[in-house]
């Protein structure tokens, strides 16, 4: 499968700040997913996107499916300490296989 380019690799922020991370691909996807992984646990789905241009929120989290279908963004507003973890993007193009392609993750640290 294709490795997605996810950035930044890590972020160290203060509580209350907003966070942005993004993921890009060299090929077109028709599904974008954002996961959060806590230490020692499996990734948990945060937001799923299925159409180009789609903007979806889940509490303080907002994600967008890029118009070009080659990128996606995740924003976290007013961060809190429990936002700490690793955030992964994942994308898939069902026309070119069944694998879910993952980014390498963004490690987020939030200080009180």
Partner 1 sequence: EAQVTQNPRYLITVTGKKLTVTCSQNMNHEYMSWYRQDPGLGLRQIYYSMNVEVTDKGDVPEGYKVSRKEKRNFPLILESPSPNQTSLYFCASSLSILAGRGATQYFGPGTRLTVL
Where on the chain is the footprint of partner 1 (CB under 8 A)?
1, 3, 30-31, 33, 35, 40-45, 48, 50, 88, 90, 92, 94, 98-100, 102-105
The per-residue b/e assignment along 38-47, b for 16 or more CB within 10 angstroms, e otherwise, is eeeeebeebb
Nearest distance from C-beta of residue 16 to partner 1, angstroms: 29
Q: Which of 50, 68 has the CB closer to partner 1?
A: 50
Say if CB 90 and CB 3 are below 8 A apart.
no
Distance CA 31, CA 70 (A): 10
Nearest distance from C-beta of residue 99 to partner 1, angstroms: 5
Nearest distance from C-beta of residue 18 to partner 1, angstroms: 25
């Amino acid at each position: 499968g294709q490795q997605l380019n996810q950035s930044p690799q890590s972020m160290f922020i203060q509580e209350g700040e907003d966070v942005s991370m993004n993921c890009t691909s060299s090929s077109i996807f028709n599904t974008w997913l954002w996961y959060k992984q806590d230490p020692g646990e499996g990734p948990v789905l945060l937001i799923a996107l299925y159409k180009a241009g789609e903007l979806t929120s889940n509490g303080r989290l907002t994600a967008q499916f890029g118009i070009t279908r080659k990128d996606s963004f995740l924003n976290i507003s007013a961060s809190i300490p429990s936002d700490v973890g690793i955030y992964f993007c994942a994308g898939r193009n069902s026309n070119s296989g069944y694998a879910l392609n993952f980014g390498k993750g963004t490690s987020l640290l939030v200080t009180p």
